[in-house]
Structure 1
Amino acid sequence: MAALDLQEQEQLDTIKAWWKDNGNKVLGAVLIVVVAMGGWRGWQYYQNKQAAEAATLYAEFVKQMESNDAKRINDAAAAVMDKYASTAYASRAALLAAQVNENTKDVARAKTQLQWTLDHAGEATQKDVARLRLAAILLDEKAYDAAMKLLNAVHPDSFNGLYADLKGDVLSAQGKTDEARTAYKLAYEKTDAKSMYRNLIQMKLDALGAAK
């Protein structure tokens, strides 16, 4: 039994190391898809003059995103956020700029942009994405209680898998193995069977080993 426990611990350490290096990138990629889909719908809904102007400024932000220049991206995002804070384009720009800042290790700026989205976004989906990204950062900072507070917020059923998975990460980091296992199982059940993300959840479940 001792040998089995050692094997499980080694597997768990391997998964934790991999997830520490890649987990946020995987989750970030999933959430960017959600934001992008919302952006496509947003173009159809805003027809008034202010929205048209916001869309034009957002298009400039998208252009700057392609430059991979963090300063230019942040400046363009700030322009949309400052001038058209009430539109969906502003919170969308904040979310995408935050992802760039996370990738470049400017975590403080990313947190500010994510919190701005929580405070200003009119679309529930954008708030949910911001909440998940901010919780992931807080997890990295070992601010477990603050992360869990965000993850306990009311959210639509379509986000159940993502919320439960991140809860599992927080609980696992705290050494609460049984609770983490329960969270991962829920995440697995709530994630589309065809999604590659489901395989990652299974990996984390396997790493925890069977319940004692």
Structure 2
Amino acid sequence: MNALTEEEQLNNLKSLTKKYGSAAISGVLVALIAFFGWSYWQKKQLHRSQNETARVQQLMDQAQSMAGDAKAYAQLAPLADTVIKKDLNSAQAIQAQFVMAKVAFDQGDYAAAERELKKVQNIKIDDEGLLQLVNLRLAYAQTAQKKYDDALKTLDLITVPAFKASADEARGDIFVAKNDIANAKKAYQSAWDVSIARKQERQILQIKLESVGVLVDDPNIERPILKTQVDES
């Protein structure tokens, strides 16, 4: 572990932001690569109404085609509402809210993203994975609004072991946003340990660890992929 002062560590975070974009280190500015688990949805066998599944796919397609359009949220809302009203306690309802939350988030309307996800936060569905994704994305939406304590409480709802690394990494992002380096280190280290054990993708997490002054050894890489340098300008 590097013996960096807290000020030096925070400077590293600022430098990392300039080099890789703010998305690399903070839930406040997260870029949300695979933000709503599209691949997860595609792998699930949704046995409910084929019509509602088709509507979700239509909603996804329209959202992608309207990327960057300021009117996207308002125009897509009626279609999403149709899916939700058909059966709130369904995987399709969750996916519809994922789409709407992503559209809102992309437009910088984090409060709307939070509202969309809260609509399905407590639905009754036999799919823990989807519900864990709801809470994970909700925590990021809350973090983007600087509702750090709310976000941490939301992450406490994530109890399925398969999501532990993602939840711990999100905690680290929140602590970074709070300038709480000590707890950020602990959260990122926990996420790293789980990821290593499961042989999961971890390059971005490694960058985050280094940004708070922790050098870690990846068994598959001779040296950490990045050694951050403080931008003295």
TM category (shorter chain) comes to: 0.7 to 0.9
Contact 2:16–2:211 at 8 Å: present in 1 too?
yes
1:95 corresponding residue in structure 2: 98
What are the equivalent positions in structure 2 for 1:122-201 lying under 5 Å apart?
122=125, 123-191=127-195, 193=199, 195=201, 198-201=202-205
Give the 5 Å matches for 1:43-82: 43=46, 45-46=47-48, 51-68=49-66, 69-82=72-85
Deviations 1:8-55 (A, max 9, x none): 4421222356564455586632343x3442344233x33xxxx23323
Distance 1:166 1:209, change over 3 A: same
1:84-124 CA distances to partner (integer Å, 9 max, x unpaired)?
21221111111122111100122222111100120226122
Shift in CA distance, 179/84, structure 1 to aligned 2, threshold 3 Å: same
Q: CA RMSD in A?
A: 2.8
Q: TM-score, normalised by structure 1?
A: 0.80
Deviation at 1:166, TM superposition (A): 0.8
SS in 2 for 1:205: helix
Q: Percent identity?
A: 20
Q: Structure 1 residues 147 and 174 mapped into 2: Cα distance closer, same or farther (>3 Å)? A: same
Distance 1:36 1:199, change over 3 A: closer
Q: TM-score of the superposition, structure 2-length normalised?
A: 0.74
Mark the runs of 5 or more structure 1 residues left unpaired by the alignment: none
Task: State whether residues 98 and 117 of structure 2, in contact with CA within 8 Å, keep that contact through their aligned partners in structure 1.
Answer: yes
1:210 CA drift (Å)? 4.7
User: How much does 1:185 deviate?
Assistant: 0.8
Higher relative contact order (CA 8 A, sep 6+): 2
Secondary structure of the 1:117 match is coil
**Greater CA drift, 65-74 or 180-189:** 65-74
